[in-house]
A and B are shown apart, each in its own frame.
Chain A
Amino acid sequence: MNHRIIARLDIKGPNLVKGIHLEGLRVLGSPEEFAEHYYNNGADELFYQDVVASLYERNSLDDIITRTAKMAFIPLTVGGGLRTIEDINRVLRAGADKICINTAAINNPKFIAEAVKVFGSSTIVVAIEVIKQSGKYLAYTDNGREYTGVDALEWAKKVEELGAGEICLTSVDREGTGLGFDSDLIKNVTTSVSIPVIAHGGAGSKEDIEKVIVESKADAVALASILHYDFVRKNKNPLATKSEGNFEFLKNNSVFKKINPVSLFEIKDYLNAKGIGCRFLMENTNE
C-alpha cells in the first residue's frame, strides 16, 4: 500500500493558522499559497479545516475551496461546521472531493449514515479528536473544545459501522507540539477498524512519520506545522495579507524547538529509502 502524505491546513477567516492543542492560533499566511506550494511539491492530498466554524456556526470557506480546486488537481478534503446534507452539498459544489465531519456526527451519529447514503462512503471522512484523560481516550467536539465522554475507540468502530470511508484521528494532546504521534492511540484504532485511518497531531520529524506508519499502521498522515514552518522558513517574506488574527509569530519568524521542519520531497525521499510505499515525483523520461 502507498501511504498518503496529506497537507493539513487549518483556516480561520481568510488565513492559514496553526495552534498548539488546536488552540492559540497563529496566522501563517494565505491558505492558497501554501496549498499551491504543497501541490507543486508532491502533496498527495490537501485537507482544509475551518477551525472556528463550529464555534461561530459560520461557513466562510467556499471561495478558498473553489480557488484551490481550480488550481490543484489532487483530492481536497474539507471540514469544519458541516451540519446538514445541504452544507455538505455546498462544499462539494464549491470543489471539495471529500468532506470531514466531527461535531455533527457525535451529536447525531445517524448523520454519518445519512451522508454516506447521499454522497457515498468514499466522500465521507469522520474526524475523531482525542484527549487522554485518566488513561482513557475520549472524543471531543468543536475542534477539541467540547467534552462528550464518548470513548474514542468505541466511537471509531461505530463510525465504520455507520459507513464512513475514512477516519481522521487527531491527538489533541500532541497536536502542534512536535512531540510525535500518540502511537498507542493510533495503533488501537488502526487495528480495530478496516477503513483507512489518517494519523494527525504531533509530527515533529520525518522519523515520527516513519514510526506512525510502520509501528502504528497508519494508512495516511496529515501534517501541518512540520510542513508550514519549512515553507515559512524558506520564504522569508511572510505571506499574510489579511487582517484577522495573531501575527506575532510571523514577525518573529520563530519555530518551536521540538519541530524539525521538513519538505514533502524530503519526507518522501526518506520514506522511500526506508522501503515504505508512497507516491513520489518521477523525473520524466518519456517526453
Chain B
Amino acid sequence: MNNNVAIIDYHMGNLFSVEQACRNVGLNPIITSKQTEIENSDAVILPGVGAFPEAMNNLNKLNLIETLKKILENEKPFMGICLGFQLLFSGSEEFGNTKGLNVFPGQVKKFPTVSSTKSKIKVPQIGWNQIHPYNSQKWKRSLLNGINNNEFMYFVHSYFVETEDDSITLTYTEYEGIKYCSSIEKDNVFASQFHPEKSAYEGIKIYNNFANSINQKD
C-alpha cells in the first residue's frame, strides 16, 4: 500500500506542486489541517510561502503547534520546505519579532538590500542557486543522496536562516556574498529553504529519497 503523507494546509501558499511531487514518487498525499490525520499519517510535510508571523498565527489557530512539535521530536519522517523550514527555528525578525516552533536554535533574518561592497542586492532572491555541502560526511546519508554536490535548486525568499547549531546544517548557499544555511537534517527531520518540488529532476530525487525513508520505517 502507498504510504500516506500529510501535507499540512495552514493557508500559506499553493500546495499543488508539493502534492504532485508526492504522487510522482508513489506517495499518497493528503492535504489536511486536522490533528488526527496528521498524527495518523506515515510522514509529514510542512510547506509554506508567505509571512512568518501569519504562519505561526495560523498554526496556532488550527491548534497544530503542539502536534507539530510532537512529530518533530518522534521518529516520523518530516520534511519542511521554505517557510516550513524557517518555522522550525527560534524566531524571525519579520515584522518585529515572532517566535517560531523553536525546535532548532537559530534566527530568521532579512537579506540586506545593499551588499558589503555597496552594490544593490535584489530581494527576494528568485531563481536557481547552488547547494554546497556543509559537512560532506552528511550528504550521502541524507535525502540528498544521489544528487551532485553543488547542484542547483530553486529558491524564492527574502529571509534566510542563521543557525546556532552547525551540527544540523546539511548545505549552505551563497547569495550576493551572504552565506547561509539552505538545508538541515537531523534524525527524522529534513528541511530546506529551496523548493525540491520546483527543482526539476534533481529536486524530485529528494522526494524519492523521502519516500524510501518512509518505507524503511515500515
Contact = CB atoms under 8 A, between A and B. Distances in A.
Given A73-B198, A75-B198, A194-B120, A2 B152 contact: yes
Contact of A95 (B16, B149, B157): B16
Nearest to A95: B16
Contacts of A201: none
B14 A196 contact: no
B17 A39 contact: no
A282 B16 contact: no
B62 interface: no
B129 interface: yes
A4 B127 contact: yes
Contact of A97 (B17, B140, B199): B17
Interface residues of A, number: 36
Interface in B108-158: 113, 120, 122-124, 126-129, 140, 145-152, 154, 156-158
A93 B197 CA distance: 16
Given A1-B176, A285-B148, A286-B147, A69 B16 contact: yes
Contacts of A122: 49, 124, 126, 156-158
A120 to B, nearest CB: 5
B50 A120 contact: yes
Nearest to A74: B200
Given A97-B17, A122-B49, A75 B122 contact: no
A2 B24 CA distance: 28
A214 to B, nearest CB: 15
A97 B49 CA distance: 11
A73 B21 contact: yes
Nearest to B127: A4
A4 B128 contact: yes
Interface centre among B126, B140, B148, B201 (most CB of A within 10 A): B126
Interface in A189-241: 194-196, 219-220
A220 B127 contact: yes
Nearest to B122: A196
Interface of B: 13-14, 16-17, 20-21, 24, 49-51, 113, 120, 122-124, 126-129, 140, 145-152, 154, 156-158, 175-176, 197-201, 203-204
Given A2-B152, A97-B14, 11 more contacts: A1-B176, A3-B127, A44-B128, A70-B20, A73-B21, A74-B198, A75-B156, A95-B17, A120-B50, A284-B148, A287-B146
Interface of A: 1-4, 39, 44, 69-70, 73-75, 92-97, 120-123, 165-166, 194-196, 219-220, 278-280, 282, 284-287
